[in-house]
Structure 1
Amino acid sequence: MTSRAQWLGILCGLLTALIWGVQSVVSRHAMLIDLTPADVTILRFVSAAAVLLPWSLRHMRPFPVGSLGWPRAWVMALLIGPLYSLILVGGASFAPALHSSIISPGLIPVFTALLIFLVTGERAGRMRLIGLGIIVLGIGIFSRDALAMAPSRPDAWIGDLLFVLIAFLWSIFGLLARRWGASSLEITAASCILSVPLLVIVALALPIHMARVPFSELVLQALYQGVLVGVVALYLYARSVATLGAAKATLFLPLVPVATAAASALLLAETPSPTELVGMAIVVSGMLIAFRSPSTG
């Protein structure tokens, strides 16, 4: 690998971590300006589907499910479509932005290892288990204020539980995506396009406040949640994996909570408590150990 290609892979990994890290801040901002989870969900999937539609029409046969096929594509849409977004953004109504980027990314490898063991009996390697144990310990410390319903975090425990559910859904999605072997772009395009008709149910069943906020705020959510997170970050992460390899690409994931902490302090004036800082440091350390260790052993 040339030095130039390696640096391109590193840049793609860093940009991916930045985009994913700031997503929690953008979602939290949406809740603070009186947008609803339904608003953000509709904006996210309409914009992502619009961007992905030309590629899907050209490359996916049958449209819009491609090699996944209809049953599997609908499973993916149900796992990471509107329901996923409603839970994720709904959590931002209760908990600060940093909670999302600590709890969900931290627990995804934990749930994944647990599901693999339950389904296949395959055990994670010793060092990975140590890393996963450190992650769980760190999340317990990080969430102490929320679970104790401290005055500074009165309803954060609700958001934290929703972020735990997000990690579980994403773990199932990740295992199915690997088992079914479709490309990440195909999975994203199919799930986004199939999510569009489901948005009708979302709009009819849940409150919509789009008319209450400036148009520029709607554009921000559509571009960031739909285009940057839904399309650009996926492409950048895929390029990082292709250039550096999957193992090295995952090493950028611990940077996600760091990016969230910096962005939430600068843009939302949300600062973590001392307990949350300690828990965050432990979680990031556990993620580094888990991602650098063999998956089995």
Structure 2
Amino acid sequence: MTKTIPLASRPAFGLACGLLCAVIWGVQSVVSRQSVADGLSAGDVTILRFLAASLVMLPFALKRLKPFPVGRLGWKRALVLTGLVGPAYSLILVGGAHFAPALHSSVISPGLIPVCTAILAWFVLGERAGKARLIGLSLLVLGIAVFAFEALSNTPTRAGAWIGDLLFVLIALLWSVFGVLCRRWGADAVEVTMATCLLSLLLLPLLALVQPVNLMQVPLSAVALQAFYQGVLVGALALFLYTQSVATLGAGGAALFLPLVPAVTAIASFFLLGEKASAQEIAGMAIAITGMVVALRAPSAG
């Protein structure tokens, strides 16, 4: 009798989670850019993100998380993960966009996450990368460099842009540590998503005291867009998808989908903003995606 493999344990399910997560994150920079045009602050976007995500998760969390609101993670681990992907992460991301062009965000963070994750997984989890995966990671880095070179060299210089770039590097480190810790602790994707969203909600009153809040001065449609996309899709669904991909494919395997983010951003920018990617940027994306495929198909060295 053939044993049935649970859907959440199937590689195809992990692949689908990773791809959908990349799509959501790729469009996020376009939606975030719209928030600036609508007059929303970084604090506004962060509040909307976690408030909406928490409201979506609360009914399910009340039934599933025992003890509430951290579940089997426990308070210590839940607080650590919330510190990595909670309100501070959102403020760093939006703060980086304040200093550096938006394109920097879609290139620097997704490009560095797979590399940082591979290094951390080697030291922390003992997941050594074989020759094929190293080749894939090398192609990935090359593709990101080709993609980024033109954008970085031709973007008008802004005072303090290097600060934004460093913040995007910090974002890559935060997500890499998050993925590795979830893998090491065998964290359940659903419980991680619920616990981090709910614990983030507790910090929002403090955030409102130290950040400007303009929610009452902008159109309701702008608030609804950010609440749905940043909260429901990015804050809840994407976090679950990434964590589930980590559980199914491993921290390194899940991170390899992130090079798709710049490609998705370029496509979304073309259709929604009328911005076209250059031939060099398209070539860089092709190289990065090739590296992703090579590294994803490569077995771990042990």
Question: With structure 1 as the length reference, what TM-score do the two structures score?
Answer: 0.83
**Structure 2 match to 1:44:** 49
Equivalent residue pairs, number: 291
Partners of 1:45 and 1:192 within 8 A in 2 = yes
What does 1:1-297 align with in structure 2 at a 5 Å threshold? 9=13, 15-119=20-124, 122-145=127-150, 147-148=152-153, 150-152=154-156, 154=158, 157-234=162-239, 246=249, 253-296=258-301
Q: 3-state SS of the aligned residue for 2:128?
A: coil
Partner Cα distance (2:169, 2:187) in 1? 26
Q: 3-state SS of the aligned residue for 1:64?
A: coil
Structure 2: runs of 5 or more not aligned: none
Q: What is the CA-CA distance between 1:266 and the residue it aligns to?
A: 1.9
Partners of 1:28 and 1:93 within 8 A in 2 = no
Q: Would the alpha carbon gap of residues 145 and 209 (structure 1) be closer, same or farther in structure 2, given more than 3 Å must change?
A: farther
Partners of 2:117 and 2:255 within 8 A in 1 = no
What is the aligned-residue identity percentage? 59
Q: Would the alpha carbon gap of residues 184 and 120 (structure 1) be closer, same or farther in structure 2, given more than 3 Å must change?
A: closer
Partners of 1:77 and 1:194 within 8 A in 2 = yes
Instruction: Supply the RMSD in Å over aligned alpha carbons.
Output: 3.1
Q: What is the CA-CA distance between 1:95 and the residue it aligns to?
A: 4.5
Partner Cα distance (2:244, 2:95) in 1? 31
Q: Which amino acid aligns with 1:115?
A: L
Partners of 2:53 and 2:235 within 8 A in 1 = yes
Q: What is the CA-CA distance between 1:226 and the residue it aligns to?
A: 0.8
Partner Cα distance (2:82, 2:240) in 1? 19
Q: Which amino acid aligns with 2:197?
A: C
Partner Cα distance (1:190, 1:11) in 2? 23
Q: Would the alpha carbon gap of residues 167 and 261 (structure 1) be closer, same or farther in structure 2, given more than 3 Å must change?
A: same
Partner Cα distance (2:245, 2:84) in 1? 25
Partners of 1:138 and 1:280 within 8 A in 2 = yes
| Residues 69-93 of structure 1 deviation map (CA, whole Å, 9 limit, x = unaligned) | 0111110110000011111222333
| Residues 25-65 of structure 1 deviation map (CA, whole Å, 9 limit, x = unaligned) | 11122123332211111100011011111111111111000
Q: What is the CA-CA distance between 1:167 and the residue it aligns to?
A: 1.2
Say which is worse superposed, 13-22 or 283-292, in terms of deviation: 13-22
Structure 1: runs of 5 or more not aligned: none
Partners of 2:73 and 2:187 within 8 A in 1 = yes
Q: Would the alpha carbon gap of residues 273 and 38 (structure 1) be closer, same or farther in structure 2, given more than 3 Å must change?
A: farther
Q: Would the alpha carbon gap of residues 91 and 269 (structure 1) be closer, same or farther in structure 2, given more than 3 Å must change?
A: farther
Q: 3-state SS of the aligned residue for 1:69?
A: helix
Say which is worse superposed, 202-211 or 217-226, in terms of deviation: 202-211
Partners of 2:140 and 2:289 within 8 A in 1 = yes
Q: 3-state SS of the aligned residue for 1:295?
A: coil
Partners of 1:125 and 1:294 within 8 A in 2 = yes
Partners of 1:97 and 1:260 within 8 A in 2 = no
Partners of 1:21 and 1:259 within 8 A in 2 = yes
Q: Would the alpha carbon gap of residues 296 and 97 (structure 1) be closer, same or farther in structure 2, given more than 3 Å must change?
A: farther
Q: 3-state SS of the aligned residue for 2:98?
A: coil
Partner Cα distance (1:281, 1:152) in 2? 25
